[in-house]
Structure 1
Amino acid sequence: MIFLIFGFMIVTVQVIGFLRFGWWGPMSVSSGLGHILPGEWFQQPRSWFGLHRILNAVPASICAFVIGGLFLAASRPLPNKGDI
């Protein structure tokens, strides 16, 4: 659930920025993780260039929605044998 909320927060910040300044501030998974995790790999990778390109291409909000949806689907209780 927290990932879904995080995804909505990212989109909300982007929409407010667009409405206020007229510019859509893209946030990729790489830039989002670069603010959270220490290290310079997210800005200037020295290896794993393909992974870096993928993380730069995927929007952070979409990733948060997908992870949140997967956690939400996995947290649903399984049906009993008699309920099927």
Structure 2
Amino acid sequence: FVVSNRRGEESARYDLVMGPVANDQLYATIRLYEQGVITSEAAIEMLRTHRLFDQLSFHTAEAATLLKFMEAVEVSGE
């Protein structure tokens, strides 16, 4: 998904995507894969060593209906 999205390819077939938040380490690994320096298997193995945090990406209105408001928390700027 990430590589296709970076290439500007159609991603409309997905309602909801869950995966790690991209950071510099992740992008470096993806670049190596895109350039053909490493295989997809090697890229996946390298990505497993990164400490990443998951994110959700809602791509359709139907997927957004899965959201349920639970609470609001005010965060001080100080």
Higher normalized strand content (fraction of residues): 2
Question: Which TM class, normalised by the smaller chain length?
Answer: under 0.3
Please say which structure displays the higher CA radius of gyration. Answer: 1
Structure-2-length-normalised TM-score: 0.28
Higher normalized helix content (fraction of residues): 1
